[in-house]
Homo-oligomer: A and B are copies of this chain.
């Protein structure tokens, strides 16, 4: 049997603890699967004393994550600290510089500094593995780096944030308002006290940046992704989607267009009879539309201690087996600069919800605004007029457009708003063709 593989693990939160438990519970199994013993040489975390439910008796403590990263005894540095800069970045850099393999679950770090870190890993000939950074236990990084490597990829998309998917699923199944579900999600621990990072779509955008880089060989950073959150989705939208045969999901979508790559995170209407529509609660999914492989969909737990630890352990298994790939598969130098597509040119159908004043001529004026932009409608439904304190007597009007461009929709909605026939800002949700 080969030499043991020695790990240094920095960060002992849910994932770090889950990893220690997995490595201990499955010690013999892992040796059978890799031909090597995998041992934890040393760990580093903010507080040493806390009971984590796993034995740390045989493990050396190193106070400083950066010192651990360079520790002469370790082969692999496992970074589970988190954060796009600070000690996580410093430690990963130190580990790579010292010629250690790195496994990380840190999406923010990769979405901001991934390319620079990849260059460093390539120079040193070590692995920088990050399966756990995107969609937890779902093997999307391996699928893109390896399984469909021979394909040209047309589109990747997915439900990349469990908090948002839980909230939208609960709104749909229990007929609750956004704010009530958010409160419940916070109580259950599915949402943070400050939920902006999740519900604003930023977490999903970090993950999308990483898989877009992999899928298209183009260096995409987090702040180049178009981001809209789910805060503006109302029960009226959820119910209308149901009636029309759709489900509303926060999707991350990346695809190649004539003008560049669209990389966008936003609420989207998904046809209800697609497997994606049935992905509910905190479950995540990622789909890959590839030239030869066709349409693949991977579904699974996108977060949580054990599933994320499983993905980290899978990355460690690869290293134990001697597998070292360039982090983004193509050499980092060969990645093309990101050419962002003009979202105004986005082609698709749209869901529109308007609160229309119940006055003669209102509908005709709205129809004219759409027609002036060449937007044709697949369906239009008027619901009962509702009395709102601010809006006066307004009827809900739901429209589904035929395929058009975002520019035309935005112009039509701007004209409708300016025309004064609606009581509030129009709601617009993209329909994703699946």
Contacts and interface: CB of A to CB of B under 8 A. Distances in A.
Interface in A98-127: none
Contact of A297 (B148, B295, B298): B298
A277 interface: yes
User: Would you call the interface of chain A mostly helix, strand, loop, or mixed?
Assistant: mixed
B295 A300 contact: yes
B306 A22 contact: no
A318 interface: yes
Interface residues on A, range: 35 or more
Contact of A295 (B152, B301, B318): B301
Interface string A14-33: 00001000100010011011
A40 to B, nearest CB: 14
A296 B294 contact: no
Interface in A300-333: 300-301, 304, 306-307, 309-311, 313-314, 316-318, 321, 323, 325, 329-331
A292 B273 contact: no
Copies of this chain: 2
Interface in A137-183: 137-139, 142-143, 146-152
A147 B295 CA distance: 20
A217 B137 CA distance: 21
Contacts of A307: 292-294
A290 B273 contact: no
Given A274-B278, A275-B278, A296 B298 contact: yes
A131 B150 contact: no
Nearest to A131: B147
A299 interface: yes
Nearest to A32: B330
Nearest to A294: B301
Interface string A52-85: 0000000000000000000000000000000000
A334 interface: yes
A367 interface: no
Contact of A150 (B26, B147, B296): B26
A306 B278 contact: no
A137 B294 contact: yes
B32 A217 contact: yes
Contact of A310 (B137, B150, B304): B150
Contacts of A292: 18, 22, 137, 306-307, 309-310, 313
Contacts of A316: 150
A291 B314 CA distance: 13
A279 interface: yes
A149 B22 CA distance: 12
A99 to B, nearest CB: 19
Residue from A149, A280, A297 whose CB has the most chain B CB atoms within 10 Å: A149
B296 A137 contact: yes
A265 B134 CA distance: 33
Contacts of A142: 139, 142-143, 146-147
Contacts of A18: 292
B314 A32 contact: no
Kindly name the residue among A147, A321, A329, A331 whose own CB sees the greatest number of chain B CB atoms within 10 A: A147
B293 A137 contact: yes
B33 A317 contact: no
A174 to B, nearest CB: 15
Interface in A331-390: 331, 334
A165 B60 CA distance: 54
B33 A149 contact: yes
Given A32-B217, A139-B296, A149-B317, 12 more contacts: A22-B151, A34-B149, A137-B292, A142-B146, A149-B314, A150-B310, A151-B310, A278-B278, A293-B306, A293-B311, A295-B301, A296-B300
9 contacts: A30-B150, A131-B147, A137-B294, A139-B139, A273-B278, A277-B278, A291-B306, A294-B306, A297-B297
